[in-house]
Structure 1
Amino acid sequence: MSNYQSNEIKLINTSLIDPHPDNPRKNIGDVTDLAASIKTNGLLSPLSVVPNGSRYRVIAGHRRLAACKQAGTGAVPCFVLDLDPLQQLEAMVTENCQREQLTVLEEADAIQGMLDLGATTANVAYRLGRSADYVRDRAKAASIGNEVRAVRDDFSQLTIGQLVAIARYDGRPDLQKRLAQAAGTSNFDYTLSRIERDDRDRQWIESVAALLVESDNGINLIPDPPYSNPEWRYAGCMFPSTGTPEETIEKIREQNPAAVSIHMEQVSLWTRRDKTADAEKEARRAAEQAERDARWHALEEYAAASADKRMAWLHANLHGVKRAQLIETTARLGLLQIIDPDPQGYTEPLATWNNAACGGEQFATISGIEPKRALAELRHHLDEPDWAVWAVQILAARIEWFIDPEDWTSTNNVGRRIHGYYLILESLGYQPAGDEIEHLKALADLIAEADQRDEENNQ
């Protein structure tokens, strides 16, 4: 303010001095302590004012003026300056900036006010002792409308970087509000990057669309047809990652589709449907599905037959097995259900025990006891010397309950247990049939291949 300072001091009653309406600092804060000091010691630094008709407006000293009025001070010393509106605003901005009393947004609005009054960017930068970029950034921040500023109470506390990013989307208040809400959080950079990416994608699709509508490009542009359209078959698409709009047009020409369409942020490629080829393709698909259905039906029949065979053998033979062997079998069956075996019957990592209640129907088949009597029979027999045979029946029934047809072609936990289950049955005297041996070998080969792939992937 030194360039505008006056050497003449005039006593003016505070009742005749008003705050300047263009003061960049919107909140002067609490002046209670300052008022107490002025009441005790008087006003030590004169105010700077400009005439306003029969009254005055303060240029420098808004807090001191408020404190004087609160302290009940009458006349105060003032420098009376002769400044035009631009000079007045410039003086207030300079004084507040030197005192570091303005928020970034207050300073931005003040700088924009100076530019509106005819000051140049270079002149404002010179008067404030700042760079031209400093002034331009704050002018951008000042362009943010009140609708966006009202999104949050602390909007004026945002950093200049956040304000410039928000101002970049002038005319798109929805995006500005998203950024304003995210400012000051860890989500701001992510939100900004998403908006920037979406903006680039929008610009890309607009540029591609402009090139596609040119009459001499040789590309057939059509409205986006539904995927079930009888005339067109979807043949792929191109995204912004394809390349520049010009590169995208060249790649479309290389692929030479029958037509292209634009849908949201992608370019869809289309070929004409060949109804004969479609019919042949559908016939092949139906034949392949029929073959899969037949294989599945055969597997279901095998799984059911092998389960019936195993359980019939258990029903007929378990009571003739020696007690010591049954106790050993009980332990082996129990372990088989809580550990993960390999096809050779050796155990791998412990798995979580499955507490689901299951196997009632299978237990009834193996034991020959009606389902409604099974629980009472078990409570009786498990306390008797022949408890082991009943324990084997329970555990075998549980494993039978778990084995589904697809487990014979799967490397899941149940599929891996099948081979170990058969080893236990064979130790009791069970003899697998030829089809069982064939399926067991196929399952073991499948598991071995899967394990080898896993081992190679982990190397």
Structure 2
Amino acid sequence: MSNYQSNQIKLINTSLIDPHPDNPRKNIGDVTDLAASIRTNGLLTPLSVVPNGSRYRVIAGHRRLAACKYAGIVAVPCFVLQLGPLQQLEAMVTENCQREQLTVLEEADAIQGMLDLGATTANVAHRLGRSGDYVRDRVKAASIKTEVRATRDDFSQLTIGQLVAIARYDGQPDRQKKLAQAAGTSNFDYILRNIERDDRDRQWIESVAALLVGSDSGINLIPDPEKPYSDPEWRYAGCMFPSTGTPEETIEKIRELNPAAVSIHMEQVYLWTRRDKTADAEEEARRAAEQAERDARRHALEEYAAASADKRMAWLHGHLHGIKRDKLVETTARLGLLQIIDPDPQGYTLALSTWNDKCGGEQFATISGIEPERALAELRYHLDEPDWAVWAVQILTARIEWFIDPTDWTIANDIGRRIPGYYQILQDLGYTPTDDETSHLDQLIAAISEADSDENEEDEENNQ
């Protein structure tokens, strides 16, 4: 403010002073304590205002003005400044940055407002005492549209790193909203990484397609068959993924394999050979045998999953009430943390509000021994009683049991990754897995480790 400050102070009636409509800080907060201080000690620092017709607008001192009005102060000392629109906004941004904590988004919108009024990035950076990159990052954040900001009530509290990542996908509101919802959770980096990978895959397939349609490619490019595994003319012979290599390396690999034709399928290149009737019959028999084996494995897994779930819940039913309260409190916290990192941002709170319809009601009834329709009434009572911990554990274990599907025992998905942690919590309570459960747990942990290893190797290749 020093570049604009006036040496002349004028006493102005508070009824004639208005907040500035372009004030970067949208929420001035509670001024009760400040008003009490002003009543006792008076206003120690004059306001800075600009004329607005017969009235005035605050440039510096919005909280002080609000506190004075709250305290019933009739007139306040003011510096009356003569500033143009850009100078007014620049002064308010500088004042807020020096005196009052703006959110990143408030600062970003204010900086964009200064640029809209004719300031340059270099001017703004110099005035704020910041780097050019600092200003440019906030300009990116300011570009985020209102519909994306409305995704969550606390959008203005997101960090500059999160805002810049969201702004990167300008014109793609679905992606921006997905990132905004995940910001502040462990899923944010995961979702961002997947979006970046999707973009790399799309760029890869577009480059490969451009090389394939080149006049000198020498490769037979055909439309993707509607029925890839039963087309009357073409037999599927493999595919090329982005991990195959660069687009140029992929083309060379296709030439080495010399398929009869290739087609573009999503982010993959399918390879085709001409169909042979005898080979087709053999292939059909092989596929039928493989499907029968998969069906048998699925049936066995379903039987195991059902037996395992029954055993766990029977143990919970028979043992929870005998566990010490401090252990249950600890277990509640650990189960809660396991739920908090759930992809559903509402966690088990959603389960409580829809308990009679879904989200674990049946499992809760098995563990607690009460009917699902009585669950909410029982919980409202018991969660306020000394035995709240045992009921909290029943809620959380029922929620996890509801989530676990037979297929989650074989793949490294969001639920499968929670099963080992869930078992560790149960074992800490005294639960003893069967040999069958231990074997399946070992297989699941191995699958998770393999998936993580593959992902790390792919990330390293992409970063090279």
Specify the TM-score bucket, using the shorter chain as the normaliser. Answer: 0.5 to 0.7
Q: Deviations over 1:58-91 (max 9, x none)?
A: 0000001111111121221111111111111111
1:42-441 pair list within 5 angstroms = 42-225=42-225, 226=227, 227-275=229-277, 278=280, 281=282
Residues 100 and 39 (structure 1), Cα distance of their counterparts in 2 relative to 1, 3 Å cut? closer
* CA deviation after TM superposition for structure 1 residue 212, in Å: 2.2
Residues 187 and 31 (structure 1), Cα distance of their counterparts in 2 relative to 1, 3 Å cut? same
Aligned-pair identity in percent equals 89
| 3-state secondary structure, aligned to 2:3 | helix
* CA deviation after TM superposition for structure 1 residue 215, in Å: 3.1
| 3-state secondary structure, aligned to 2:30 | coil
* CA deviation after TM superposition for structure 1 residue 94, in Å: 0.6
Residues 45 and 277 (structure 1), Cα distance of their counterparts in 2 relative to 1, 3 Å cut? closer
Q: How many residues align?
A: 286
| 3-state secondary structure, aligned to 1:144 | coil
Q: Letter of the 1:70 partner, please give it.
A: Y
* CA deviation after TM superposition for structure 1 residue 208, in Å: 1.8
| 3-state secondary structure, aligned to 1:237 | strand
Q: Letter of the 1:88 partner, please give it.
A: Q
Distance of 2:58 and 2:286 partners within structure 1: 87
Residues 257 and 72 (structure 1), Cα distance of their counterparts in 2 relative to 1, 3 Å cut? same
| 3-state secondary structure, aligned to 1:204 | helix
Q: Letter of the 1:47 partner, please give it.
A: L
Structure 2, gaps ≥5 residues long: 290-464
* CA deviation after TM superposition for structure 1 residue 103, in Å: 0.7
Residues 75 and 237 (structure 1), Cα distance of their counterparts in 2 relative to 1, 3 Å cut? same
Distance of 1:283 and 1:182 partners within structure 2: 45
1:10-49 pair list within 5 angstroms = 10-49=10-49
| 3-state secondary structure, aligned to 1:230 | coil
TM-score by structure 1 length?
0.60
Structure 1, gaps ≥5 residues long: 290-459
| 3-state secondary structure, aligned to 1:4 | coil
When structure 1 is superposed on structure 2, of 268-277 and 99-108 the one drifting more is 268-277
Distance of 1:104 and 1:29 partners within structure 2: 17
Residue equivalent to 1:343: none
Distance of 2:238 and 2:81 partners within structure 1: 74
* CA deviation after TM superposition for structure 1 residue 236, in Å: 0.6
Residues 277 and 72 (structure 1), Cα distance of their counterparts in 2 relative to 1, 3 Å cut? closer
Q: Deviations over 1:19-62 (max 9, x none)?
A: 01110000000111111222232211110111111111100000
Distance of 2:284 and 2:104 partners within structure 1: 71
TM-score by structure 2 length?
0.59
Q: Deviations over 1:318-370 (max 9, x none)?
A: xxxxxxxxxxxxxxxxxxxxxxxxxxxxxxxxxxxxxxxxxxxxxxxxxxxxx
Residues 207 and 282 (structure 1), Cα distance of their counterparts in 2 relative to 1, 3 Å cut? closer
Q: Letter of the 1:50 partner, please give it.
A: V
Distance of 1:283 and 1:2 partners within structure 2: 83
Q: Letter of the 1:106 partner, please give it.
A: E
Q: Deviations over 1:287-309 (max 9, x none)?
A: xx9xxxxxxxxxxxxxxxxxxxx
Residues 16 and 258 (structure 1), Cα distance of their counterparts in 2 relative to 1, 3 Å cut? same
Residues 208 and 282 (structure 1), Cα distance of their counterparts in 2 relative to 1, 3 Å cut? closer
Distance of 2:247 and 2:4 partners within structure 1: 57
* CA deviation after TM superposition for structure 1 residue 254, in Å: 2.2
Residue equivalent to 2:390: none
Q: Letter of the 1:258 partner, please give it.
A: A
Distance of 2:42 and 2:116 partners within structure 1: 38
